[in-house]
Amino acid sequence: MPARPYWFRAKRYGWGWGLPLTWQGWFVLALFFALVLVGAVVLLPALGQLAFVAWCTVLCVLLVGICWIKGEPPAWRWGRK
């Protein structure tokens, strides 16, 4: 059985993930930005900055979780070997 492709590639320099590799990764990233925008339009006027910051924090934790599960294993990188 072939290995599942990673949705997000590891960054070349530093720790974490870079741009998506697959359509699923691009969908997750687009959904993240769309939900941030929805929060800015809906939460900021109705509930204020604290609610918006909480919303963005939850979205960021979810995005990092998805990257952790579906991305290349994170490690500190100093460029190509």
What contacts 48, CB < 8 A, 6 or more positions away? none
Q: Residue 1 falls within a domain, yes or no?
A: no
Instruction: Note down the domain range covering 35.
Output: 8-13+20-78
* CA angle centred on 9, ends 34 and 11, rounded to 5°: 100
Whole-number pLDDT of residue 30: 98
State how far the Cα of 3 lies from the Cα of 74, in Å rounded to an integer: 18
Q: Along the 81 residues of the chain, how does pLDDT read in single tens digits?
A: 456 799 999 988 999 999 999 999 999 999 999 999 999 999 999 999 999 999 999 999 999 999 999 999 988 888 766
Q: Is 46 inside any structural domain?
A: yes
Number of domains in the chain: 1
- d(Cα 72, Cα 77) in Å, to the nearest integer? 12
Q: What is the helix (H) or strand (E) element at residue 81, kind and residue range?
A: none
- Write down the pLDDT at residue 1: 46
2 inside domain: no
- Report pLDDT for 81: 61
- On whether residue 48 sits in a domain, the answer given is yes
